[in-house]
Protein backbone atom coordinates (compact mmCIF):
# COMPACT_ATOMS: atom_id res chain seq x y z
CA UNK A 1 0.00 0.00 0.00
CA UNK A 2 1.10 3.59 -0.50
CA UNK A 3 2.33 5.41 2.55
CA UNK A 4 -0.35 8.09 2.62
CA UNK A 5 -0.59 9.20 6.22
CA UNK A 6 -4.01 9.19 7.85
CA UNK A 7 -5.61 12.51 8.85
CA UNK A 8 -5.32 13.83 12.38
CA UNK A 9 -7.99 14.96 14.85
CA UNK A 10 -7.99 16.56 18.30
CA UNK A 11 -9.23 14.53 21.27
CA UNK A 12 -11.32 16.87 23.41
CA UNK A 13 -11.29 20.66 23.19
CA UNK A 14 -7.82 20.96 24.72
CA UNK A 15 -6.62 17.39 24.28
CA UNK A 16 -3.86 15.88 22.16
CA UNK A 17 -3.90 15.69 18.37
CA UNK A 18 -3.57 12.19 16.93
CA UNK A 19 -4.06 10.16 13.76
CA UNK A 20 -7.71 9.27 13.29
CA UNK A 21 -6.92 5.62 14.02
CA UNK A 22 -4.70 4.58 16.93
CA UNK A 23 -3.02 1.29 17.78
CA UNK A 24 -4.00 -0.98 20.66
CA UNK A 25 -0.83 -2.55 22.06
CA UNK A 26 -2.30 -4.86 24.74
CA UNK A 27 -2.03 -8.05 22.70
CA UNK A 28 1.69 -7.46 22.14
CA UNK A 29 2.33 -8.63 25.72
CA UNK A 30 -0.84 -10.10 27.19
CA UNK A 31 -4.38 -11.47 26.99
CA UNK A 32 -4.41 -13.01 23.51
CA UNK A 33 -1.99 -15.92 23.64
CA UNK A 34 1.64 -16.17 22.49
CA UNK A 35 3.36 -13.09 21.09
CA UNK A 36 6.35 -12.52 18.84
CA UNK A 37 8.20 -9.39 19.93
CA UNK A 38 10.03 -8.83 16.60
CA UNK A 39 6.71 -9.01 14.77
CA UNK A 40 5.14 -6.61 17.27
CA UNK A 41 8.00 -4.12 16.87
CA UNK A 42 7.52 -4.20 13.11
CA UNK A 43 3.82 -3.47 13.64
CA UNK A 44 4.68 -0.41 15.74
CA UNK A 45 7.09 0.90 13.10
CA UNK A 46 4.61 0.39 10.26
CA UNK A 47 1.85 2.10 12.20
CA UNK A 48 3.96 5.20 12.72
CA UNK A 49 4.89 5.34 9.03
CA UNK A 50 1.18 5.40 8.20
CA UNK A 51 0.39 8.26 10.59
CA UNK A 52 -0.91 6.22 13.53
CA UNK A 53 0.25 8.27 16.51
CA UNK A 54 -1.98 7.26 19.46
CA UNK A 55 -0.51 4.17 21.15
CA UNK A 56 -2.67 2.54 23.79
CA UNK A 57 -1.31 0.56 26.75
CA UNK A 58 -2.01 0.13 30.50
CA UNK A 59 -0.03 -0.79 33.58
CA UNK A 60 -2.32 -3.84 33.85
CA UNK A 61 -1.30 -5.38 30.51
CA UNK A 62 1.16 -8.11 31.38
CA UNK A 63 1.52 -6.49 34.83
CA UNK A 64 3.81 -3.79 33.45
CA UNK A 65 5.37 -5.90 30.69
CA UNK A 66 3.48 -4.09 27.93
CA UNK A 67 4.73 -0.68 29.09
CA UNK A 68 8.28 -2.09 29.37
CA UNK A 69 8.07 -3.60 25.88
CA UNK A 70 6.84 -0.32 24.36
CA UNK A 71 9.36 1.91 26.16
CA UNK A 72 12.18 1.79 23.53
CA UNK A 73 9.75 2.58 20.70
CA UNK A 74 8.13 5.37 22.69
CA UNK A 75 11.45 6.93 23.62
CA UNK A 76 12.75 6.73 20.04
CA UNK A 77 9.68 8.59 18.75
CA UNK A 78 8.79 10.68 21.80
CA UNK A 79 7.83 13.85 19.94
CA UNK A 80 5.87 12.13 17.16
CA UNK A 81 3.45 10.10 19.26
CA UNK A 82 0.74 10.27 21.90
CA UNK A 83 1.39 7.84 24.76
CA UNK A 84 -1.78 6.65 26.45
CA UNK A 85 -1.66 4.44 29.52
CA UNK A 86 -4.01 3.60 32.38
CA UNK A 87 -4.21 2.86 36.11
CA UNK A 88 -6.77 1.16 38.40
CA UNK A 89 -6.51 -2.55 37.65
CA UNK A 90 -4.35 -5.26 39.13
CA UNK A 91 -4.56 -8.97 39.87
CA UNK A 92 -5.35 -10.24 43.35
CA UNK A 93 -1.94 -11.62 44.47
CA UNK A 94 -3.70 -14.52 46.24
CA UNK A 95 -5.91 -15.43 43.29
CA UNK A 96 -4.91 -14.32 39.80
CA UNK A 97 -8.37 -15.11 38.43
CA UNK A 98 -9.60 -12.08 40.43
CA UNK A 99 -9.02 -8.44 39.55
CA UNK A 100 -8.69 -5.58 42.00
CA UNK A 101 -9.92 -2.09 41.04
CA UNK A 102 -8.52 0.93 42.90
CA UNK A 103 -9.10 4.65 42.32
CA UNK A 104 -7.87 6.12 45.64
CA UNK A 105 -5.25 8.90 45.65
CA UNK A 106 -2.30 6.94 47.17
CA UNK A 107 -2.86 4.16 44.63
CA UNK A 108 -2.96 6.61 41.71
CA UNK A 109 0.23 8.32 42.88
CA UNK A 110 2.08 4.98 43.07
CA UNK A 111 0.65 3.90 39.72
CA UNK A 112 1.75 6.98 37.81
CA UNK A 113 5.30 6.71 39.15
CA UNK A 114 5.38 3.04 38.12
CA UNK A 115 4.17 3.81 34.59
CA UNK A 116 6.58 6.72 34.12
CA UNK A 117 9.48 4.54 35.24
CA UNK A 118 8.57 1.56 33.05
CA UNK A 119 7.89 3.78 30.04
CA UNK A 120 11.11 5.72 30.61
CA UNK A 121 9.49 9.09 29.91
CA UNK A 122 8.96 12.27 31.95
CA UNK A 123 5.30 12.73 31.12
CA UNK A 124 2.32 10.63 30.00
CA UNK A 125 0.30 12.30 27.22
CA UNK A 126 -3.08 10.74 28.05
CA UNK A 127 -3.66 9.09 31.43
CA UNK A 128 -6.83 7.05 31.85
CA UNK A 129 -8.66 5.69 34.83
CA UNK A 130 -9.03 2.14 33.51
CA UNK A 131 -11.96 1.06 35.64
CA UNK A 132 -14.25 2.71 38.15
CA UNK A 133 -13.84 1.87 41.85
CA UNK A 134 -17.29 2.77 43.13
CA UNK A 135 -15.97 3.09 46.69
CA UNK A 136 -14.10 6.29 45.82
CA UNK A 137 -15.98 9.44 44.73
CA UNK A 138 -15.13 10.15 41.09
CA UNK A 139 -14.41 13.78 42.04
CA UNK A 140 -11.65 12.59 44.39
CA UNK A 141 -10.13 10.34 41.73
CA UNK A 142 -10.18 12.99 39.02
CA UNK A 143 -9.00 15.59 41.54
CA UNK A 144 -5.86 13.50 42.05
CA UNK A 145 -5.45 12.99 38.30
CA UNK A 146 -5.73 16.78 37.87
CA UNK A 147 -2.96 17.24 40.44
CA UNK A 148 -0.75 15.04 38.26
CA UNK A 149 -1.42 17.42 35.35
CA UNK A 150 -0.44 20.36 37.57
CA UNK A 151 2.77 18.56 38.54
CA UNK A 152 3.68 17.93 34.88
CA UNK A 153 3.52 14.11 35.15
CA UNK A 154 0.50 13.84 32.87
CA UNK A 155 -0.75 16.07 30.05
CA UNK A 156 -4.38 15.02 29.46
CA UNK A 157 -6.98 12.93 31.27
CA UNK A 158 -9.16 10.07 30.10
CA UNK A 159 -11.66 7.64 31.61
CA UNK A 160 -12.43 4.08 30.56
CA UNK A 161 -15.80 2.33 30.93
CA UNK A 162 -17.47 5.13 32.87
CA UNK A 163 -21.17 5.90 32.92
CA UNK A 164 -22.52 9.17 31.52
CA UNK A 165 -23.08 10.51 35.05
CA UNK A 166 -19.53 9.63 36.05
CA UNK A 167 -18.21 11.38 32.94
CA UNK A 168 -20.21 14.54 33.70
CA UNK A 169 -19.05 14.62 37.34
CA UNK A 170 -15.43 14.07 36.31
CA UNK A 171 -15.49 16.67 33.54
CA UNK A 172 -16.75 19.25 36.04
CA UNK A 173 -13.54 18.74 38.06
CA UNK A 174 -11.08 18.75 35.13
CA UNK A 175 -11.53 18.58 31.33
CA UNK A 176 -11.63 15.00 30.11
CA UNK A 177 -10.06 14.56 26.67
CA UNK A 178 -11.33 11.06 25.92
CA UNK A 179 -13.54 8.24 27.07
CA UNK A 180 -12.29 4.80 26.12
CA UNK A 181 -15.00 2.17 26.03
CA UNK A 182 -15.87 -0.87 23.98
CA UNK A 183 -17.64 0.17 20.78
CA UNK A 184 -18.12 -1.98 17.72
CA UNK A 185 -20.73 -3.59 15.51
CA UNK A 186 -21.21 -6.08 18.38
CA UNK A 187 -21.07 -3.68 21.39
CA UNK A 188 -23.20 -0.57 21.21
CA UNK A 189 -24.50 -0.06 24.75
CA UNK A 190 -22.58 3.24 25.14
CA UNK A 191 -24.74 4.85 22.45
CA UNK A 192 -27.66 5.19 24.89
CA UNK A 193 -26.06 7.58 27.38
CA UNK A 194 -22.27 7.80 27.23
CA UNK A 195 -21.99 8.89 23.59
CA UNK A 196 -24.58 11.69 23.95
CA UNK A 197 -22.80 12.94 27.10
CA UNK A 198 -19.41 12.86 25.36
CA UNK A 199 -20.83 14.76 22.38
CA UNK A 200 -22.39 17.40 24.63
CA UNK A 201 -19.16 17.87 26.63
CA UNK A 202 -16.84 17.82 23.60
CA UNK A 203 -15.09 14.66 24.81
CA UNK A 204 -13.63 12.26 22.21
CA UNK A 205 -14.53 8.59 22.10
CA UNK A 206 -11.73 6.04 21.80
CA UNK A 207 -13.44 2.75 20.92
CA UNK A 208 -11.55 -0.26 22.25
CA UNK A 209 -11.97 -3.75 20.80
CA UNK A 210 -13.41 -2.20 17.60
CA UNK A 211 -12.82 -5.52 15.85
CA UNK A 212 -14.81 -7.34 18.55
CA UNK A 213 -11.49 -8.70 19.89
CA UNK A 214 -10.88 -10.22 16.45
CA UNK A 215 -14.25 -12.00 16.14
CA UNK A 216 -15.51 -9.46 13.58
CA UNK A 217 -12.61 -10.29 11.25
CA UNK A 218 -13.77 -13.90 11.04
CA UNK A 219 -10.33 -15.07 12.24
CA UNK A 220 -11.84 -17.27 14.97
CA UNK A 221 -15.31 -18.53 15.78
CA UNK A 222 -15.33 -20.52 19.03
CA UNK A 223 -12.73 -19.18 21.45
CA UNK A 224 -12.96 -22.41 23.45
CA UNK A 225 -11.80 -24.43 20.44
CA UNK A 226 -9.87 -22.00 18.25
CA UNK A 227 -7.72 -20.11 20.79
CA UNK A 228 -4.97 -21.13 23.20
CA UNK A 229 -5.73 -22.08 26.82
CA UNK A 230 -4.41 -18.78 28.24
CA UNK A 231 -6.44 -16.56 25.87
CA UNK A 232 -8.72 -14.15 27.76
CA UNK A 233 -11.41 -14.41 25.09
CA UNK A 234 -12.26 -17.92 26.29
CA UNK A 235 -13.81 -16.25 29.36
CA UNK A 236 -16.10 -13.98 27.36
CA UNK A 237 -19.62 -15.39 27.09
CA UNK A 238 -20.21 -14.26 23.51
CA UNK A 239 -17.22 -16.09 22.06
CA UNK A 240 -17.84 -19.66 23.19
CA UNK A 241 -20.23 -22.54 22.48
CA UNK A 242 -23.69 -21.91 21.10
CA UNK A 243 -23.31 -18.13 21.50
CA UNK A 244 -20.22 -18.12 19.27
CA UNK A 245 -21.84 -20.05 16.43
CA UNK A 246 -25.00 -17.89 16.59
CA UNK A 247 -22.84 -14.75 16.57
CA UNK A 248 -20.74 -15.96 13.62
CA UNK A 249 -23.92 -16.12 11.54
CA UNK A 250 -24.47 -12.39 12.24
CA UNK A 251 -21.37 -11.59 10.17
CA UNK A 252 -23.10 -12.44 6.88
CA UNK A 253 -24.09 -8.84 5.99
CA UNK A 254 -20.58 -7.68 6.97
CA UNK A 255 -19.17 -10.27 4.55
CA UNK A 256 -21.45 -9.13 1.72
CA UNK A 257 -20.63 -5.45 2.25
CA UNK A 258 -16.93 -6.31 2.39
CA UNK A 259 -17.30 -8.05 -0.98
CA UNK A 260 -18.94 -4.98 -2.49
CA UNK A 261 -16.04 -2.77 -1.33
CA UNK A 262 -13.28 -5.25 -2.16
CA UNK A 263 -12.47 -5.01 1.54
CA UNK A 264 -12.04 -7.43 4.46
CA UNK A 265 -14.61 -7.99 7.20
CA UNK A 266 -12.34 -6.24 9.68
CA UNK A 267 -12.09 -3.18 7.45
CA UNK A 268 -15.88 -2.92 7.31
CA UNK A 269 -16.07 -3.24 11.10
CA UNK A 270 -13.50 -0.45 11.48
CA UNK A 271 -15.11 1.77 8.84
CA UNK A 272 -18.41 1.39 10.71
CA UNK A 273 -16.97 2.51 14.04
CA UNK A 274 -14.98 5.33 12.42
CA UNK A 275 -18.14 6.55 10.71
CA UNK A 276 -19.85 6.99 14.10
CA UNK A 277 -17.96 10.30 14.12
CA UNK A 278 -20.29 11.67 11.44
CA UNK A 279 -23.36 9.64 12.44
CA UNK A 280 -23.12 10.62 16.13
CA UNK A 281 -21.31 13.94 15.73
CA UNK A 282 -18.22 13.52 17.90
CA UNK A 283 -14.51 12.78 17.55
CA UNK A 284 -13.84 9.04 17.29
CA UNK A 285 -10.36 7.49 17.34
CA UNK A 286 -10.57 3.69 17.49
CA UNK A 287 -7.58 1.70 18.76
CA UNK A 288 -7.67 -1.64 16.92
CA UNK A 289 -5.11 -4.03 18.35
CA UNK A 290 -2.73 -6.04 16.26
CA UNK A 291 0.76 -7.49 16.52
CA UNK A 292 1.36 -7.66 12.76
CA UNK A 293 2.50 -4.99 10.30
CA UNK A 294 0.37 -6.44 7.49
CA UNK A 295 -2.74 -6.08 9.65
CA UNK A 296 -1.79 -2.53 10.60
CA UNK A 297 -1.81 -1.74 6.88
CA UNK A 298 -5.14 -3.47 6.43
CA UNK A 299 -6.71 -1.70 9.41
CA UNK A 300 -5.39 1.72 8.39
CA UNK A 301 -6.88 1.05 4.95
CA UNK A 302 -10.32 1.10 6.58
CA UNK A 303 -10.00 4.86 7.15
CA UNK A 304 -10.51 5.29 3.39
CA UNK A 305 -13.81 3.35 3.27
CA UNK A 306 -17.15 5.16 3.54
CA UNK A 307 -20.25 3.03 4.02
CA UNK A 308 -23.48 4.06 2.30
CA UNK A 309 -26.71 4.82 4.16
CA UNK A 310 -28.05 1.50 2.88
CA UNK A 311 -25.01 -0.40 4.16
CA UNK A 312 -25.23 1.29 7.57
CA UNK A 313 -28.91 0.29 7.70
CA UNK A 314 -28.02 -3.35 6.94
CA UNK A 315 -25.49 -3.36 9.78
CA UNK A 316 -27.85 -1.65 12.23
CA UNK A 317 -29.63 -4.76 13.65
CA UNK A 318 -26.49 -6.78 14.36
CA UNK A 319 -25.61 -5.59 17.88
CA UNK A 320 -29.08 -6.21 19.30
CA UNK A 321 -28.93 -9.80 18.04
CA UNK A 322 -25.58 -10.69 19.66
CA UNK A 323 -25.85 -13.63 22.08
CA UNK A 324 -23.89 -13.33 25.33
CA UNK A 325 -22.48 -10.37 27.23
CA UNK A 326 -19.11 -8.79 26.48
CA UNK A 327 -17.82 -9.58 30.00
CA UNK A 328 -18.69 -12.43 32.34
CA UNK A 329 -19.20 -9.76 35.05
CA UNK A 330 -20.92 -6.74 33.59
CA UNK A 331 -20.42 -4.62 36.72
CA UNK A 332 -16.91 -4.38 35.25
CA UNK A 333 -18.30 -2.18 32.45
CA UNK A 334 -20.27 1.06 32.26
CA UNK A 335 -23.37 -0.73 30.96
CA UNK A 336 -23.53 -2.72 34.18
CA UNK A 337 -23.81 0.49 36.22
CA UNK A 338 -25.84 2.86 34.04
Ligand X SMILES: NC(=O)c1ccc[n+]([C@@H]2O[C@H](COP(=O)([O-])OP(=O)(O)OC[C@H]3O[C@@H](n4cnc5c(N)ncnc54)[C@H](OP(=O)(O)O)[C@@H]3O)[C@@H](O)[C@H]2O)c1
**Secondary element (H or E) of residue 226:** helix 223-226
Q: What does the alpha-carbon distance between residue 272 and residue 191 come to, in Å, rounded to a whole number?
A: 14
Query: Which residue, 94 or 297, has its beta carbon nearer to ligand X?
Result: 297
Q: Which stretch binds ligand X (CB under 6 A): 235-243, 273-281, 282-290, 312-320?
A: 282-290
Instruction: Decide if residue 187 touches ligand X (CB under 6 A).
Output: no
What DSSP line would sit under 80-134, residue for residue?
T-EEEEEESEEEETTEEEEEEE---HHHHHHHHHHHHHHHT-S-EEEEEE-S--T
**Closest chain position to ligand X (CB):** 24
Q: What does the alpha-carbon distance between residue 114 and residue 148 come to, in Å, rounded to a whole number?
A: 13
Q: What does the alpha-carbon distance between residue 114 and residue 118 come to, in Å, rounded to a whole number?
A: 6
Q: Which stretch binds ligand X (CB under 6 A): 240-248, 275-283, 290-298, 316-324?
A: 290-298
**Secondary element (H or E) of residue 151:** none
Instruction: Decide if residue 298 touches ligand X (CB under 6 A).
Output: yes
Instruction: Decide if residue 118 touches ligand X (CB under 6 A).
Output: no
Q: Which of 63, 77, 70, 126 is nearest to 289 (CA)?
A: 70
* Out of 217, 236, 240, 247, the residue judged to bind ligand X by CB under 6 A: 217
In the complex, minimum distance from the CB of residue 56 to ligand X, in angstroms, rounded to a whole number: 4
Q: What does the alpha-carbon distance between residue 48 and residue 306 come to, in Å, rounded to a whole number?
A: 23
Residue of 32, 55, 61, 107 with catalytic role: 61
Q: Which of 248, 250, 245, 240 is nearest to 326 (CA)?
A: 240
Query: Which residue, 15 or 288, has its beta carbon nearer to ligand X?
Result: 288
Site for ligand X in 19-78 (CB under 6 A): 24-27, 32, 56
In the complex, minimum distance from the CB of residue 236 to ligand X, in angstroms, rounded to a whole number: 10
Instruction: Decide if residue 214 touches ligand X (CB under 6 A).
Output: yes
61 is catalytic: yes
Distances (CA, A) of 132 to 128, 283, 331: 11, 23, 10
Instruction: Decide if residue 208 touches ligand X (CB under 6 A).
Output: yes
Question: Which residues are near ligand X by CB under 6 A?
Answer: 24-27, 32, 56, 130, 160-161, 180, 208-214, 217, 219, 266, 287-292, 295, 298-299
Amino acid sequence: MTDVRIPTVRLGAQGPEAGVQGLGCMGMSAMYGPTDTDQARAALDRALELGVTLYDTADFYGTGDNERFLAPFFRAHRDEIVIATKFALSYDPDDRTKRIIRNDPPYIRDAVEGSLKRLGVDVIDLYYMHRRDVNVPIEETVGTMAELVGEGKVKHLGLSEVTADELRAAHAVHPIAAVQSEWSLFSRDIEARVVPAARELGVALVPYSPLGRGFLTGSFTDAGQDLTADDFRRLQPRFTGANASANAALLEPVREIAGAHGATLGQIALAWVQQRATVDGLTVVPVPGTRRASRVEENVGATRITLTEGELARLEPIAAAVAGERYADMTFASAGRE
